[in-house]
Amino acid sequence: MRTYGLIGQSLKHSFSADYFNSKFQREGMTDYCYELFELESIESLSRLIEEHPDLEGFNVTIPYKEQILPYLYFRDKVVDEIGACNCVKIINDKLYGYNTDVEGFLKSFIPLFQTYHHSALILGNGGAAKAVKAALDELSIQSTMVARKPNSLDEILWDTLSAGTIEDNNIIVNATPLGMYPDVNSFPPIPYKAITRFHLVIDLVYNPAKTIFLQKAEAQDAIIQNGIEMLEQQAEASWNIWSPAI
Ligand code: NAP
């Protein structure tokens, strides 16, 4: 069986296996499958690869997009630039790392954004946040990450977020797991009342389809989108990297 999969710590929220296995079924690819591999720590990766000789590639999710970097034999230019990898192709037991989150976010974002959307707040500073920043940079949209542990002077702390910060940034992207199944009652602590109908508010979380974060933004008449379109776009971009297998 030609096997692909997803590694992460807890994968209860993930739709990736459904997405790929439906695709394989629809396209008559009966000898292909996509599995979820929960790893307690990234150190278990070598054992997973030894135990699954049929594994040809895998996606990487929270919290391993940065932790996987030392395991890569090859890093694509985008991985090097942003320091996060979400797609690995295995060739002769060596791991080739790519980032398809940037392309996935770009393709999901472009149809939504208007010329008056000028600058963005990215909530979080992990792997997905870095991909969103790289995508926005490509569109020359200025962005600021909001972090618990800022890595640079450009990143700001959550408790410095004011209504003015929300007014100054009419794109807001949640790139934290706050609100993601099963933790559906949590949401990013931001001044929601400052959101207007001119804001574009995007949640990378797609399960549930409408998080409390998106509900609160919708109540302020903002344009909202969840992460399902990005998930599908990054999955297709991953497939383009994996196939045809060498
Ligand atoms: P990650 O690399 O582990 O980064 C998570 C980020 O969220 C970090 O900045 C982390 O801050 C922050 N964070 C976690 N818990 C928090 C809390 N309680 N309060 C404030 N900040 C918190 O994970 P990731 O890969 O970037 O994924 C982030 C989210 O995006 C996940 O929900 C993931 O499923 C989603 N995602 C969706 C797609 C899609 O295709 N739709 C693609 C990629 C990611 P610390 O470093 O301080 O912990």
What is the number of other CB atoms lying within 10 angstroms of the CB of residue 117? Answer: 18
Domain ranges of the chain: 2-100+232-245, 103-229
pLDDT of residue 142 exceeding 90: yes
Query: Which residue ranges have their beta carbon within 6 Å of ligand 1?
Result: 61-63, 65, 101, 104, 124-129, 147-149, 175-178, 180, 204-206, 227, 230-231, 234
Residue that the structure tokens 């998930």 belong to: 231
pLDDT for 158 equals: 98
pLDDT for 244 equals: 64
From ligand 1's centre to the CA of 123, what distance in Å? Answer: 9
pLDDT for 74 equals: 98
From ligand 1's centre to the CA of 111, what distance in Å? Answer: 24
Average pLDDT along the chain: 96
pLDDT tens readout for residues 54-74: 999 999 999 999 999 999 999
pLDDT tens readout for residues 169-202: 999 999 999 999 999 999 999 999 999 999 999 9
Listed in sequence order, the residues at least 6 apart from 62 whose beta carbon sits closer than 8 Å to its beta carbon are 8, 9, 126, 127, 128, 177
pLDDT for 58 equals: 98
**Bridge partners, 119 (sequence order):** 142
Strands (E), the chain: 2-8, 32-38, 55-60, 74-75, 87-91, 94-98, 119-123, 142-147, 156-157, 171-174, 200-203, 223-225
Residue from 65, 148, 233 whose mutation best tests the ligand 1 pocket (most atoms within 8 A of CB): 148
- Cα dihedral across residues 197, 203, 207, 211: positive or negative: negative
Task: Give the span between the Cα atoms of 16 and 22, in whole angstroms.
Answer: 10
pLDDT of residue 246 exceeding 90: no
Task: Give the span between the Cα atoms of 165 and 212, in whole angstroms.
Answer: 20
pLDDT of residue 4 exceeding 70: yes
The CATH code of domain 103-229 reads 3.40.50.720
pLDDT for 3 equals: 97
Q: What is the pTM of this model?
A: 0.94
Answer yes or no: same fold for 2-100+232-245 and 103-229. Answer: yes
Share of residues in the chain with pLDDT > 70 (%): 99
pLDDT tens readout for residues 92-115: 999 999 999 999 999 999 999 899
Share of residues in the chain with pLDDT > 90 (%): 96
CATH classification of 2-100+232-245, choosing from 3.40.50.300, 3.40.630.10, 3.40.50.10860, 3.30.499.10?
A: 3.40.50.10860
Q: Record the tokens describing residue 122, joined without a space.
A: 């990215």
